């Protein structure tokens, strides 16, 4: 039994944030109907690497869904939309402000059509407030949500993160909200409007930085490797410092390539064992008792020395070798894993996090797997749909349309782009 079997979702989202959410729900067993205009989700053709095939940008975010194309600019297309609303438990959208309203479908109208339906909406900055009409983008959300100001090195430019916390992070937040609202609707019979703003989601993911923002009102942040002081105001960029109060950094290992690094956390509990292991090899045999680093306070004060000695020790070891040395000492550490590392990693493959799929247009390709593991309903990853692949299937199975009705709607242009008129 799939966890969300029987739940129908009308998914009008596109690009990344919304499709991330609906793909997760599809992997949990929901019947996700990807509702596309006749041109299709724009990402089908973006960054295309195989001619005339859906791009990886699209396929990696739209697995396990069914695709229907509907021309909402026709009265017949709008009627199909209304009929689907009546059959679905959730409707999702991430259009720009006011787009769905201009089609005549405000939340109030949708709720009137189906009082039980839950509506999920992703906006850059929400539907209220002075920023509500601004356009958003992954990196804009990172900039305005606090992530960029705290990422990078103190004297350098702010950096975006490689992880898509603005888009994918927002999709994860929306999934939680939709499931909560669906649970409430099952109890009360009433759906509700669920909104997640990208900026809000990024702020939530930066929670520890807002912790440090308030700590700065009372004193310096002793675990930071960069200078801080009471009343500083802005939380500084601090490179690879931890957000948890422990000394942390990335150590460069042989052969000193771009990703030959091991991230190491120097916890107080493991310091003696760590110092006794590396000290003799770096010319400081009694490192554990060296007054410059013997206590956590001194190690924070002299953390540059700690990192210098660890880097010297790492010169003779690869990142995997160094990991094998530190793990028996209970030192938290992990190699900097490149995309190539992860695509070939035994642990990753064993947990079904790098899954091979077959697509009728592009052939064999890989997708990142389902990160949420349900013991009684494990996810089965299926390929993404081609544009409009399931239009007739959905019309017949979900809406109960007969062949004559479908042909009539086709003739009226309900599922296709308007014909171009010669000039």
Instruction: Give the active site residues.
Output: 167
State the Rg of the chain over Cα: 26
Q: What is the edge-to-edge ordering of all strands in the sheet holding 333-335?
A: 247-252, 261-266, 333-335
> Does residue 26 contact residue 101 with C-beta atoms inside 8 Å?
no
**Residue-level length of the chain:** 423
Place of tokens 């309903």: 377
**145 φ, ψ to 5°?**
-95, 0
Secondary element (H or E) of residue 18 = helix 17-27
Place of tokens 């010297």: 312
CA distance 114 to 116: 5
Short-list 230, 214, 208, CA closest to 150: 208
The Cβ of residue 380 has, within 10 Å, a number of other Cβ atoms equal to 13
Strands 247-252 and 261-266: antiparallel
- Taking each continuous run of H as one helix and of E as one strand, the counts in the chain are 17, 11
Long-range contacts: 219-223, Cβ < 8 Å, 24+?
Answer: 222/297, 222/300, 223/247, 223/300
- Whether omega before 370 lies within 30 degrees of 0, making that bond cis, reads no
């Amino acid at each position: 039994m799939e966890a969300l079997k029987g739940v129908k979702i009308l998914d009008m989202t596109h690009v990344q944030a919304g499709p991330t959410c609906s793909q997760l729900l599809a992997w949990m067993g929901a019947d996700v109907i990807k509702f596309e205009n006749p041109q299709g989700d724009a990402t089908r053709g973006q960054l295309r690497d195989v001619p005339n095939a859906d791009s990886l940008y699209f396929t990696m975010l739209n697995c396990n869904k069914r695709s229907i194309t509907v021309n909402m600019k026709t009265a017949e297309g709008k009627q199909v939309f209304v009929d689907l609303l009546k059959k679905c438990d959730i409707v999702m959208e991430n259009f720009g402000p006011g787009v769905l309203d201009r089609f005549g479908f405000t939340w109030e109208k949708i709720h009137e059509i189906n009082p039980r339906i839950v509506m999920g909406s992703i906006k850059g900055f929400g539907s209220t407030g002075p920023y509500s009409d601004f356009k958003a983008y992954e990196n804009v959300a990172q900039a305005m949500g606090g992530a960029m100001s705290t990422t990078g090195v103190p004297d350098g430019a702010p950096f975006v993160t490689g992880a898509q916390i603005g888009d994918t992070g927002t999709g994860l937040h929306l999934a939680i909200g939709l499931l909560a609202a669906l649970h409430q609707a099952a109890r009360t019979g009433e759906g509700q409007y669920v909104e997640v703003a990208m900026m809000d989601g990024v702020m939530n993911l930066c929670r520890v930085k807002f912790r440090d923002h308030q700590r700065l009102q009372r004193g310096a942040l002793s675990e930071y490797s960069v200078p801080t002081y009471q009343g500083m105001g802005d939380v500084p960029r601090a490179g690879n410092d931890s957000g948890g109060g422990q000394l942390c950094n990335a150590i460069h290992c042989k052969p000193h390539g771009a990703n030959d690094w091991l991230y190491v956390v120097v916890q107080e509990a493991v310091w003696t064992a760590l110092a006794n292991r590396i000290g003799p090899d770096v010319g400081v045999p009694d490192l554990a008792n060296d007054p410059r680093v013997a206590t956590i306070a001194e190690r924070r004060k002299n953390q540059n020395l700690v990192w210098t000695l660890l880097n010297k020790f790492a010169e003779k070891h690869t990142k995997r070798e160094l990991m094998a040395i530190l793990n028996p000492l209970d030192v938290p550490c992990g190699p900097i894993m490149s995309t190539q590392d992860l695509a070939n990693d035994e642990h990753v493959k064993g947990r079904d996090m790098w899954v091979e799929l077959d697509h009728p247009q592009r052939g064999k390709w890989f997708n990142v797997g389902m990160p949420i593991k349900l013991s009684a309903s494990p996810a089965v990853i299926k390929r993404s749909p081609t544009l409009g692949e399931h239009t007739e299937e959905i019309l017949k199975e979900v809406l109960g349309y007969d062949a004559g009705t479908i042909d009539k709607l086709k003739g009226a242009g309900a599922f296709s782009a308007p014909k171009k008129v010669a000039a």
